[in-house]
Amino acid sequence: MGFFVDLGGLGVAKFLRKLSLLCFVFFLVTTRVGGITPEEVFQDGRRAFELGHWAEAKEHFYLFGQSWPSHPLVVQALLLESLSELRARPAEDTLAKADRLASLSVRLKLFREKLPGQELSELETALQVETSGASLLATGTGILAFPPKKLDHLLNRNLIQNPSQDPIGTLSWIRQWRRRYPSGYPAGLVGKLEMMRSKALWILLLSPLPARKSSAILKTWGAWPLGAALNRSLNKAFQDGSLDVKREASVLGVSVDWILKNRKENQGLQEDSKWMRYLRERGIHEAEAWVPR
């Protein structure tokens, strides 16, 4: 019985919002019987719209259209209702997400109490991702706690941060993780990791200023010169990856070949170019000068 009592309160916020909405509509309907005019309902909706009260405006215009479908203003009301609905969506999504997080949090607490010893890492990770509003940070030490099968599952669900968001962090955690778990990989995991590593190196290849700033650590990690390191990772991804990874590696490989063929990696930056002059004038921070995503 306690299980159902605990879960019964998960949707309270959503229920109260729906109840207040029903009361609002009931109030408008009963007021209409008492003599409210369609013009008043329309103007109330317009006033709410102009104040940015999108949910309230949407309900006014919806009631207007349902109650007076032949009124000359019904098309204008429908337009304003549509705009209100679109603009109300972010707030509604935020409330829905808050409900979902509350539900997950209560359930997770319940499962920890009622199911001791149960594997809950996936649910805990999902809650972390939902709470942060992003994928699991590649630089987070939490990733290092996931053994090969768990990490493979997270990668399949795209719960790990995209390498383009933090190339150096991606290279770092992959290196640390593989040292911690040198064997026992499920089929295809090596290909996925090498593909992530390739994407991180690709962003560095296209971002010479951060690459130059990070060259010392990259040399320590065996990721320098970038072109050679990138080709090694791509070849491993292609060799050990699934069909999807092989295709992804091939698509990136075409771009890598083209870039390296038309650029001598040891040539260095054109320090006197107009781009570099402008950046120096503005105050350049090489470690932050990533290629636009």
pLDDT digits (tens, 9 = 90+) for 71-95: 999 999 999 999 999 999 988 888 8
Sorted by sequence, the CB contacts under 8 Å of residue 276 that are 6+ apart come out as: 269, 270, 284
Q: For residue 283, which amino acid is it?
A: G
Which helix (H) or strand (E) is 98 found in, with range? helix 74-114
Burial class (CB in 10 A: 0-12, 13-18, 19+), 204: buried
What does the pLDDT read at residue 26?
61
Phi-psi group of 35: left, alpha or beta (phi > 0 → left; psi -120 to 50 → alpha; rest → beta):
left
Burial class (CB in 10 A: 0-12, 13-18, 19+), 118: exposed
Report the alpha-carbon distance of residue 81 to residue 97 in Å, rounded.
Answer: 23
Which of 71-85, 89-103, 147-161, 269-283 has the highest mean predicted lDDT (pLDDT)?
A: 71-85
More confident residue, 196 or 267: 196
CB contact at 8 A, 108 and 127: yes
At 153, is the secondary structure helix, strand, or coil?
Answer: helix
What does the pLDDT read at residue 6?
42
pLDDT digits (tens, 9 = 90+) for 13-32: 555 555 655 665 565 555 55
Q: Which of 261, 266, 285, 169 shows the shortest CA–CA distance to 226? A: 266
DSSP-assigned beta bridge partners for residue 136? 160
**88-97, 139-148, 153-162: least confidently modelled range:** 139-148
pLDDT digits (tens, 9 = 90+) for 204-255: 999 999 999 999 999 999 999 999 999 999 999 999 999 999 999 998 998 8
What does the pLDDT read at residue 277?
79
More confident residue, 194 or 262: 194
Is a pLDDT exceeding 50 seen at residue 5?
A: no
What does the pLDDT read at residue 4?
38
Tokens of 210: 């951060």
pTM more than 0.75: no
Percent of the chain, pLDDT > 70? 80
Q: What is the mean pLDDT of residues 98-117?
A: 87
Report the alpha-carbon distance of residue 71 to residue 156 in Å, rounded.
Answer: 54
> Please, which contacts does 144-152 make with residues 24 or more away whose CB atoms are closer than 8 Å?
144/173, 144/176, 144/177, 144/180, 145/121, 146/121, 147/181, 147/184, 148/181, 148/184, 148/185, 148/186, 148/189, 149/186, 150/121, 150/122, 151/177, 151/189, 152/185, 152/186, 152/188, 152/189, 152/192
Is a pLDDT exceeding 50 seen at residue 184?
A: yes
What does the pLDDT read at residue 2?
42
Is a pLDDT exceeding 60 seen at residue 140?
A: no
Q: What is the mean pLDDT of residues 156-179?
A: 88
> Please, which contacts does 68-71 make with residues 24 or more away whose CB atoms are closer than 8 Å?
68/38, 71/38
What does the pLDDT read at residue 28?
54
Which of 87-91, 132-136, 263-267, 281-285 has the highest mean predicted lDDT (pLDDT)?
A: 87-91
Q: Using the 8-state DSSP alphabet, how is residue 273 labeled? A: S
Report the alpha-carbon distance of residue 236 to residue 47 in Å, rounded.
Answer: 62
What domains lie within the chain, and their CATH numbers? 2-114 (1.25.40), 135-288 (no CATH)
Burial class (CB in 10 A: 0-12, 13-18, 19+), 270: exposed
Q: Which of 133, 164, 140 shows the shortest CA–CA distance to 292? A: 164
